[in-house]
Amino acid sequence: MLQTIRTESRGFAAGPLGTCRADWLRARRHRAKSFSPPAAPAKVIRWLANMIVAVHPLAGFDKVLHYRAPEKLCAGIAVGSLVRVPVVNRFTLAVVSQLDPTPDCPVEKLKNVAELVYPFPALTPELLSLARWIAAYYAAPLDTVIEAMIPVSVRKGLALKIEKRLAVARELSVEELETLNRRAPQQAKLYAFLKLQLHPVAKSLALERLKVGPSSAAALVQHGVLREIDHRIERVGYGDDLGSAEPVAVIPPELNLAQKAAVESIRASGAKGGFAVHLLQGVTGSGKTEVYLHAIADMLQGGGGAVYLVPEVALTPQTVARLRGRLEQQLGQRVVVWHSSLSEGERLDGWLALASGQARIVVGARSAVFAPVRDLRLVIVDEEHEPAYKQDETPRYHGRDVAVYRAKLAGAVCVLGSATPSVESVNNMRRGRYLHDVLPTRIDDRKLPRMHIVDMRHEIVAKRATSVLSRLLIDKLHDRFEKKEQSILFINRRGYSSSLLCQECGYVAECPHCSVSLTYHRADETLKCHLCGEVRPAPLVCPQCHSPKIRMRGLGTQKVEEHVARILPRAKVVRIDTDTMGKKNRFREILGEFRTGKIDVLVGTQMIAKGLDFPNVTLVGLVDADISMHVPDFRANERTFQLLVQVAGRAGRGDLAGEVVVQTFTPQAEAIQFAKQSDFDGFIEGEIKLREQFRYPPFRHLVHHVFRGDNAEKVLWVAEQWKKRVEPLLAGAAELRGPSPSPIERVQNEYRFQLWYFTGSVVKVVGVLAKEQREFPWPEGVSQTLDVDPMSLS
Ligand SMILES: [Zn+2]
Ligand SMILES: [Zn+2]
């Protein structure tokens, strides 16, 4: 029996076809013992020996196969069950997609299902429908979608963690004990110890405490004096990322009127039953999390389950701590936390807790949208505008859009929260598809910070040199340091700084057809539009003011850190960038030191802006607002506006008022002007008009097709041949643009060209493309991928 434990400590147990079949079976038995599976609905209980099932194998091919379910498995098999089936000459995992289909061959030729992996379905019918929709919409093979839904540890059948415990099975008489004492004093010692215990004791603990060997215990078990009990231990872990996410019990604050109205509005949708989407728009610091917590508590009372998505769990330990404090400590409801740095064991046990109905709430990043929560009644997507919700490998789904669709399938309420909702969501709200709840002010009537826009063109003229920090920002940094208040400087690192910007007049080269900035290609000194393919020579001087200072300049966090250290030699300046983010403990340490006031100025990229909540921060500087504005993407303005609002939102969260300094070469840009006024409606009005004019999303969908290979001419030729083939098939359904080089033409020695499909009907276009992809004579050395509703145009 010790074998199981050893396998445990290695992490993985091999499947039934591996070397540890005995372990696997043992684990399976424990599993069956530890759960009371939800009662199977009457219609799935079959008494016929020959039930036929259709399954999707998870084996790298996209096909439905038919099997016969042997009598002993019939009662347990349902749609969504995870089973093991023979395919050719091996066994593979598969998900049951249909009961009693019409088989594709005579019944007697069908093979048997070999094993039912869990006594409850791995996917609910709702998740299975969701998988089919994702496959059809995002042009992904169904098996890759199902694999994304079921964690590796679940699919591989990772063993449960079993602890051996010992208890007395038969009491010894005085004579027996004396004999034992004489012949085997070690055994007698163990027996005497266990006899005094009220509950079974962990074997390892008892043996270690008494310094008794395992053979003594084995002998007593063999003679029926002791019995060994398997006790399942749940690995409830929160991974490395959430070391500071211990539950924090706080007395729920009194809700303000706007929060109350939002909670009521969500409650009303919940009471009505059925699908509804609420767009919860609240300025930074307005207490959206509190609204979510109330909505979750309401829904729990009704007996339902909830999914709570955040863009990046590692950056929101405070939210997780609050959620656990409220739901675990005050309501006694376990919260399953779902993110990438969980161990496989923790992931398995979290998944099982949800699938078996023991836990009803999951909080996590993108993939938590697939968590097997039963009776789903509420789906929350916090910071719904975040591009991090889009997965950048197959299946390339958008977590927010999938969340909305899942809520629809489940008949649940979906809450999309943001200070700066996406154009897509606002458009849905305006068309009456989403309800709108607004939190217009910060909690406790705290003021939104005041935003100063610094025109860097003047700074350069005044100082006769390129400067990193403006005079205003330097003055304010001095001022905060004197007052013992804290500052954060953000460097904008979104995308690539590949556009041309005139540092004298703020001119930026744009494509006349597509309203995106042109990309500078250094190799042949050209400007190219990567949407339509427009090419022109790169100017040596600014076409507007004839200045030679026409270049995009990117700044590193290190350079900014050095500048600040020179300006404030006595201050403690620390930088957070991708290097420090890689070392999780260091990142946590820095945030801890910043919170306790040991750090005066924090320098970092905007990726850290999301969750930060430090009451003593009264100054926030955005060093280079232009970078995100002039990436060649029709969402560039939206991203810049969101960035400015989010960054500003980090200032003045405590009792002290905050100030924001934004440095830019294009201060007249709308995104900057509207952010300065905190005028979301004004900004979105113009942005929606522009999108409508150019027929960009949400007025049409975009499908991005990338062709890659090490021979540029060949890749381009293939892309052109492909276009010739599909363009007539898509006539009337999609407008094609390209092929054009990607903004970053060459990645890891591969050349990339892209085609764009603008369409009103994704499913129709994807259907045609997927079929043609299978039939097109793809040459060696060229690969291609489709991305539906891409969030980045590179
Ligand atoms: Zn110029
Ligand atoms: Zn263009």
Residue-wise pLDDT for 461-481, tens only, equals 776 555 688 999 999 999 999
Task: Report which bound ligand comes closest to the CA of 519.
Answer: 2
CA 114 and chain centroid, separation: 34
Considering every ligand atom, which ligand is closest to the CA of 634? 2
- The answer, yes or no, to whether residue 97 has pLDDT greater than 70, is yes
Report how far ligand 2's centroid is from the alpha carbon of 315 (Å): 37
CB of 531 closer than 8 Å to CB of 740? yes
Confidence band (pLDDT; 50, 70, 90) for 26? Answer: very low
Rounded to the nearest angstrom, the gap between the alpha carbon of residue 129 and the centroid of all alpha carbons in its chain is 21
Find the 543 Cα to ligand 1 centroid distance in Å.
Answer: 7
- pLDDT > 70 in the chain, percent: 86
Residue 22 pLDDT > 60, yes or no? no
pLDDT tens-digit series, residues 702-742: 999 999 999 999 999 999 999 999 999 999 999 999 898 88
> How far apart are the CA of 504 and the centre of ligand 1, in A?
5
> Among all ligands shown, which has an atom nearest to the Cα of 738?
2
The residue-averaged pLDDT of 110-128 equals 87
The arithmetic mean of pLDDT across residues 256-281, rounded, is 94
- Model pLDDT, residue 249: 65
Reported in sequence order, the residue ranges of 456-558 that DSSP labels E, i.e. its strands, are: 486-491, 519-521, 526-528, 535-537
CA atoms within 13 A on the CB side of 641: 29
Q: What is the pLDDT of residue 763?
A: 92
Give the ligand at the shortest distance from the Cα of 504. Answer: 1
Residue 277 pairs in a beta bridge with 414
545 CA distance to ligand 1 middle (Å): 4
Identity of the amino acid at 709 = G
Q: Are strands 51-57 and 361-364 parallel, antiparallel or unpaired?
A: unpaired
C-alpha angle 308-310-314 in degrees, rounded to nearest 5: 125
3-class state of residue 729 by DSSP: helix
Phi-psi region at 695: left, alpha or beta (left = phi > 0; alpha = psi -120 to 50): left
Centre of ligand 1 from the C-alpha of residue 457, in Å? 10
CA–centroid distance, 525 to ligand 1, in Å, is: 18
- Quick one: which ligand is closest to 547's CA? 1
Q: Is the pLDDT of residue 409 over 80?
A: yes
Q: Is the dihedral of CA 142, 148, 154, 155 positive or negative?
A: positive
Q: Which ligand has the minimum distance to the alpha carbon of residue 632?
A: 2
Q: What is the DSSP track for 398-463?
A: BHHHHHHHHHHHHT-EEEEEESS--HHHHHHHHTTSSEEEEE-S-GGGPPPPEEEEEEHHHHHHHH
What is the chain's mean pLDDT, rounded? 83
Residue 540 CA to ligand 1 center (angstroms) comes to 11
Residues 315-361: pLDDT tens digits? 667 778 888 888 887 788 888 988 877 878 888 888 888 988 889 99
- Residue 247 Cα, ligand 2 centroid: separation in angstroms? 51
Cα(384)–Cα(368) distance, integer angstroms? 14
Confidence of residue 2 (pLDDT cuts 50, 70, 90): very low
Q: Which ligand is nearest to the CA of 527?
A: 2
**Ligand 2 center–CA 443 separation, angstroms:** 45
Structure tokens at 106: 């005579």
Q: What is d(CA 91, CA 72) in angstroms, rounded to the nearest whole number?
A: 19
- pTM to 2 decimals? 0.81
Give the other-Cβ count within 10 Å of 250's Cβ. Answer: 12
Q: How far is the CA of 670 from the centre of ligand 2 (A)?
A: 21
| Helix %, strand %, coil % of the chain (to 5) | 40, 20, 40
> Assign residue 528 a region: left if phi > 0, alpha if psi is -120 to 50, beta otherwise?
beta
